[in-house]
Amino acid sequence: MAARDYYSRGQNLVYNRPVLAIFAVIGVFLVFDIFRQLGTGTIAVTDLVSYLWNGLVLGMSLGLAGVGLSMTYSILNFANFAHGDLITSGAFAGWATAFLIAGLGEFSVESLILIGGPIAVGSNELGINVVNTPLALLAGLLVAAVLTAALSLLLDRIVFKPMRSADGVTLMIASVGVALFLRNFLTFSFLTDSRGLTGGNVPQFTVAGVTFGGHQITLVVVAALLMLGTHILLQYTKIGTAMRAMAANKDLAKVTGIPTERVVKLTWIIGGGLTGCAGFLIALQQGTLTVTMGWDLLLLVFAAVILGGVGSIYGAMVGGVILGIASRLALVWIPASFLLVAAFVIMIVMLLVRPSGLFSGRTTA
């Protein structure tokens, strides 16, 4: 009886949702192929665990970076293309602070705030890492959050607030202009050179042949704590309740007395703060920083948000982790140069199977 029931369900799936059935078969085949390669020794267990760990690191980066983007969309209903350059702005603000604190008293202020540029103090001279200079990194993280939140609020006041009644396309185009302005301002201030950030003996831990970088662990732990804090804020505070109400129905939120303009400001502050933290942590994990860092990440952040459900904060978190792990697991079959392609193939497959995303859009704010 049970076998017949399973057969009936399978038959209905093939007839009613053939695309899902095809991808399910492909997924099962890929899982079996991984076990086959493990059994034949084509891929080592340590390599597979390394792929999973590196995927988790990438996924937490994308998830944290995507939260602010989802907040903007859920409350203001537009895709903010300046988000990538807000990530970069937070990174530069935070690392200028970290360099300043780490080298204060030994080097001039001007040479420190340029963050290892052509005429600045190099990262190796300062030896910045989580073991040698934890206070400098903590201060940098806090400054990245505060200044990016302030910058987001300022941009809203100057650019987006006067256009509050405009449609989403108009706001999106305006955000492209903001992105270009921010990127060119950073280029003018810091030039286009790639600069090293960390130095000294960066801690690493090897467990059963798998290496876990100290800065990778820092990113994963801090990002997880920030995501947990966002969850608590959304579910257990009045601010979170107001934000979820506005995401669900802005007009009804107004009628019920929710101060919508205040909620918009808080959205920019919270989203901007998380974006700045993401930029600082991503730069810490990479060990380098350029003026195009956020722009280079933006497509992947959008992919993670779309995968989880546009406008869903929880969707951005989960979508980022899934995208990161799946794209790194793809190294079992494809070369590293095709990882970006793999990430977007995963997004397209999800849209074909579930067009509204994993968390169905804005239902979770």
Question: Which of 13-17, 79-83, 206-210, 331-335 is predicted least confidently?
Answer: 13-17
Contact (CB, 8 A) for 294 and 98: no
Q: State which of 14-18, 41-45, 223-227, 333-337 shows the largest mean pLDDT.
A: 223-227
pLDDT above 90 (res 129): no
Q: What is the pLDDT of residue 8?
A: 60
**CA 254/CA 78 separation, integer angstroms:** 19
How many CB atoms neighbour CB 16 within 10 A?
9
pLDDT above 90 (res 169): no
**What percentage of the chain exceeds 70 in pLDDT?**
90
φ and ψ at 165, to 5 degrees? -90, -5
Name the token pair of 96.
């200028």
| Banded model confidence at residue 281, pLDDT cuts 50, 70, 90 | very high
State the average pLDDT for the chain.
84
Name the token pair of 48.
């597979």
pLDDT tens by residue, 179-193: 999 999 999 888 778
Contact (CB, 8 A) for 27 and 35: no
Q: What is the pLDDT of residue 196?
A: 82
| Banded model confidence at residue 1, pLDDT cuts 50, 70, 90 | very low
Q: What is the pLDDT of residue 321?
A: 93
- Tokens 């998380």 belong to 274
**CA 215/CA 42 separation, integer angstroms:** 30
Contact (CB, 8 A) for 307 and 324: no
φ and ψ at 52, to 5 degrees? -65, -45
| All residues at 6 or more sequence positions from 269 whose CB lies less than 8 Å from its CB, including other chains | 149, 152, 153
pLDDT above 90 (res 132): no
**CA 137/CA 64 separation, integer angstroms:** 18
- Tokens 């959050």 belong to 145
pLDDT above 60 (res 128): yes
**CA 69/CA 208 separation, integer angstroms:** 38
Q: What is the pLDDT of residue 19?
A: 61
**3-state SS, one letter per residue, for the chain:** CHHHHHHHHHHHHHHHCHHHHHHHHHHHHHHHHHHHHHHHCCCCHHHHHHHHHHHHHHHHHHHHHHHHHHHHHHHHCCCCCCHHHHHHHHHHHHHHHHHHHHHECCECHHHHHCCCCCCCCCHHHHCCCCCCCHHHHHHHHHHHHHHHHHHHHHHHHHHHHHHCCCCHHHHHHHHHHHHHHHHHHHHHHHCCCCEECCCCCCCEEEECCEEEEHHHHHHHHHHHHHHHHHHHHHHHCHHHHHHHHHHHCHHHHHHCCCCHHHHHHHHHHHHHHHHHHHHHHHHHHHCEECCCHHHHHHHHHHHHHHHHCCCCHHHHHHHHHHHHHHHHHHHHCCCHHHHHHHHHHHHHHHHHHCCCCCCCHHHHC
pTM for this entry = 0.89
